[in-house]
A and B are shown apart, each in its own frame.
Chain A
Amino acid sequence: MSLLQVDDVVVQFGGVTAVNHASFEVEPGTVTGLIGPNGAGKTTCFNVITGLQSPTSGRVLLEGRDITRMPVHRRARRGIGRTFQRLEAFGSLTVWDNVRTALDIHAGVRGLLNSVDGSAEVEVERLLELVGIEEYADERADSVPTGVARLLELARALACEPRLLLLDEPSSGLDEQETLDFGRLLTQLAGNGRTVLMVEHDMDLVMSVCDTIHVLDFGTIIAQGTPAQIRTDPVVQQAYLGYAEDPAVGSHVRTDDVEETRVLPTVVGSP
């Protein structure tokens, strides 16, 4: 059975339909990519899955269980973790305290009462090293670079040991080398049995780490399959190339400042 099932979800904001009868599934232990042009409804899908946005219609199922009406924190307790496209780090706390707080929240009331045995400190160190931001441990989270803050959000989400991890544009703000390291980290996480669903614009990263890719356009899934299938899918090429102003842009489209170029560069030319 798939871990997550998004079933015919519709989200309307007034007259605008952000997600239009989208359905897709995420298999356990895989890295799944959710890609699509800007405004396609990717982040809205994430908000629906995590409970920050209730859908106009449709269902969300986690391991076959309907969680559509479940409040945000209960979904988190059931193993859904996420990072945010617009950063939501705890700005007044240090990087270290951010992760520590996540551990405390995860431990719940019992964790508040537990005696201090130092295991939490060790865990914080481990997580910071895992994502590679231990050198920023003592800095306030609102003063670190964007890339570091993204990795911090990842470490914070991992502190709650999610089975399903939603990453919203995790590589934006990372440089080329960091992105490569990040790709390895994702593969490692999936190898450890974690499931990752990722919204990402760096197509090299998406194509190299994802097992399955769903393509969203105008709120609807227009294609799904392996990276190889997506690369050659005529519908996807049409959706992207139809908007592309300059398909010859290099293979690294960074999305830091300009949120998005509607280009799927690796589709063009590469095998």
Chain B
Amino acid sequence: MNEFISYTLIGVFTGAAYAIAASGLVLTYSTTRVFNIAHGAVGMVFAFVYWDLSQKQGLPDWLALAVVLLLLAPAFGVFLQRVVVRNLGNAPVGVSLVVTVGILVGLIGVATQIWPPAPRTLPPFFASSLIHIGANIVITWHQIITVLLSGLVAVGLFLLLARTRVGTAMRASVDNPDLLRLYGGKPQLVSGLAWAVGTSLAALAGILLTPVIGLQYYDLTLLVISAYAAAMLGKLTNLPMTYVGAMGLGIVQSYAVGYLPSAGDVAGLRAVIPTLFLFAILVLLPQAPLRIGQVKGIVSAPVPGFGKAGLWGGALVLFVMLLAFGLADSDLLLVGTAATYGIVMLSLVLLTGYGGYVSLAQFTFAGVGAVAYSKLDQPNLLGLLLAVLIAAAVGALVAIPVLRLTGLYLALATLAFAQLMDKLVFQASFAYEIGNPLSADRLSILGLKFSGTGAYTVLMTVFFVLVALLVIAVRRGRLGRILIAMRDSQAACGTLGLDLRWMRVGLFAGSAGIAGLAGALFAGLRGTTVSADFQFFSSLLLLLMAVVWGVTSVTGAVLGGVFLMYLPVAQSNNPSIAGLLFVLLGVGAVVVGRDPNGLANKLFGFNSWVMDRLYPKLAERYPGMALRGRGEDDDALGALDEVQEEGVERDVVVAG
């Protein structure tokens, strides 16, 4: 009985901290319609800041706390709102997700750069004095303070929203910011305040939980899942329900830690209670209505014809063949890795670039493919196909619980799913366990074994080209048109008779299957894989890399794959700026994220820039030289242009 009471008390404490985090999330989401995936990362960074001030610089606890909560965190919140997420509320969900994932990765980069990995401890408040109730029940002052603070936050938010003018304006800005502006309100000011308070609450939750979770980059970042799970009970807008959700979650999690076995296959279960809780709530939520009156028409990168795509694909294979002759095996492994990442990128081109859905778990699907391929131990096309199908089935499995909800919830569900797989499945004895590598053989096709690293790398490139052609075929065909139509207007698709829910499941399955193929090929390339190869964080990097280089084109996938491969290489070559590279990627995504066509699309524009702008200018300046602009009578150039016009189905660029 004493044990039970103890666990309940710990649960109330955890729930109180979750409630603080979740109410911050609800506040920012409901006033600006931007779901901040970096909410946990914000808490993480400020926990580090607080540690730095109180432990390293030796400030008194209360002063450090005041500096963080009343000064630094609100300032950072206003900065985020003003500079980074401004006007993002009206953008497609995909864009706001990418930008906030960019913030998340950037913040992890900042933390690793300023506070490199080292053992750090943050003592709880008033650690020296404990309160004993009865014989065996002990409460810490830290727990009491946390519960009190969460009550204080609840009362404070209630007073702010219900009793002040600015709170009324906040609630009004949820409904209609334009109208608020017409009536003399200042939605930007209101949003800024919401982000200031929200960020401060994230920081507070991070600081309160650190003595329990530990001062770590990733575990604190995943606090967003717990906060999200709690907030979902109130559909991201209802604060009282959010508190109920947070308390329930905290208590359930505490019981799980107390009573579930701490060894064996279900040991990981204890760490993923928030995620399971989240999925349970997602399944129970009612159908979301289709949105009518959306902004439509999105700029897309040009889609090449098969002739042109085949030509480039052939050239790529030839190039890798040359590399296979010239490079050492260790470098060829990197080329193969780039091909793997390229294929995973292609899965995102299909899902995000064409379909408009965001997934934060593509590497998890790749991991499923790798595990399946290794465990099946059938290093041939059949084994590969089975691995792909298993990954596809898992992809469908993620999309089905979220069947009735919108894209935002689907994306968040994939994040939760990735964490679930990291902690529960990949570490179980039927997959990797902790730190246990799985070995796999290289593929043979029709009895021909590709055992050399060079040959295998070329094979992987061929697979990349084949998948790329498949993706282009889908885009050019009926299915591709339907995907674009779905992205433009779900309501119209529905009233024309399209079952959007199963279309989405199918799209997810297809995308997961492609990622699974990449994982299976990767397992064969490396010979052994470990669970760390498929951590959730890689999926975030992948998404950002894809968006920076262009998630709507195969070219973007090639470039993204190469750079994603190069990122860890660059980091291990220059460990002193490892974190900075994450920051760079995060900032890049924040800057480019609003245009999903990315840098690749800029390349496509280069040719016409040369023809239309550069040539005439040069011709004007140096009239004697044989430079001719477009439109003049030049057979060679004219013919070249024609070929390109023919090969490229131009999607006219119109801002959506």
Contact = CB atoms under 8 A, between A and B. Distances in A.
Nearest to A72: B494
A47 B293 CA distance: 13
A24 interface: no
B298 A91 contact: yes
Query: Which of B293, B479, B487, B491 neighbours the largest number of chain A CB atoms within 10 Å of its CB?
Result: B491
B496 A102 contact: yes
B359 interface: no
A92 B482 CA distance: 11
A183 to B, nearest CB: 24
A97 interface: yes
Contact of A52 (B479, B491, B656): B491
B290 A140 contact: no
Given A47-B292, A88-B492, A93-B481, A105 B497 contact: yes
B307 interface: no
Interface stretch (A77-85, A174-182, A192-200, A224-232): A77-85
Interface in B488-506: 488-489, 491-500
B484 A92 contact: yes
A101 B482 contact: yes
A103 B430 CA distance: 47
Interface in A51-110: 51-54, 71-74, 76-77, 80-82, 84, 86, 88-93, 97-98, 100-102, 104-106, 108
A42 interface: no
Contacts of B297: 91-92, 140-142
A52 B484 contact: no
Contacts of A89: 296, 488-489, 492
Given A52-B491, A93-B481, A140-B654, A88 B296 contact: yes
Contact of B656 (A71, A102, A112, A142): A142
Given A92-B296, A97-B481, A141-B297, A73 B500 contact: yes
Given A84-B292, A92-B296, A92-B488, A76 B656 contact: no
Interface residues of A, number: 43
A111 B496 CA distance: 14
Given A53-B289, A73-B498, A112-B479, A101 B485 contact: yes
Contacts of A82: 495
Query: Chain B interface mostly helix, strand, loop or mixed?
Result: loop
Contacts of A100: 478, 481
Interface in B628-656: 651-652, 654, 656
A19 B539 CA distance: 47
B300 interface: yes
Interface residues of B, number: 33
Interface string B604-633: 000000000000000000000000000000
Query: Which of A92, A104, A157 neighbours the largest number of chain B CB atoms within 10 Å of its CB?
Result: A92
B488 A90 contact: yes
A169 B408 CA distance: 32
A208 interface: no
A214 interface: no
A52 B495 contact: yes
B488 A72 contact: no
A101 B299 CA distance: 19
Contact of A140 (B479, B481, B493, B652): B652
Interface in B422-437: none
Interface in B269-315: 289-290, 292-294, 296-300
A49 B656 CA distance: 30
Query: Which of B293, B300, B496, B656 neighbours the largest number of chain A CB atoms within 10 Å of its CB?
Result: B496
A86 B499 CA distance: 22
Given A92-B297, A142-B296, A143-B654, A106 B497 contact: yes
A97 B485 CA distance: 9
Interface string A132-163: 00000000111100000000010011011000
Query: Which of B292, B300, B485, B656 neighbours the largest number of chain A CB atoms within 10 Å of its CB?
Result: B485
A50 B491 CA distance: 10
Nearest to B655: A142
Contacts of A105: 482, 485, 493, 496-498
B296 A73 contact: no
Contacts of B656: 91-92, 142
A142 B495 contact: no
Given A86-B292, A92-B651, A140-B297, A104 B495 contact: no
B489 A76 contact: no
Contacts of B652: 140, 143
B296 A90 contact: yes
B482 A88 contact: no
A50 B485 contact: no
26 contacts: A50-B495, A54-B289, A71-B499, A72-B290, A73-B497, A84-B491, A84-B492, A88-B294, A88-B492, A89-B492, A90-B484, A90-B489, A91-B297, A91-B656, A92-B297, A92-B300, A92-B487, A92-B656, A93-B484, A93-B485, A97-B481, A101-B478, A108-B497, A143-B654, A159-B496, A160-B496
| Smallest CB-CB A-B distances: 5 pairs | A91-B297, A142-B297, A76-B497, A91-B296, A72-B494
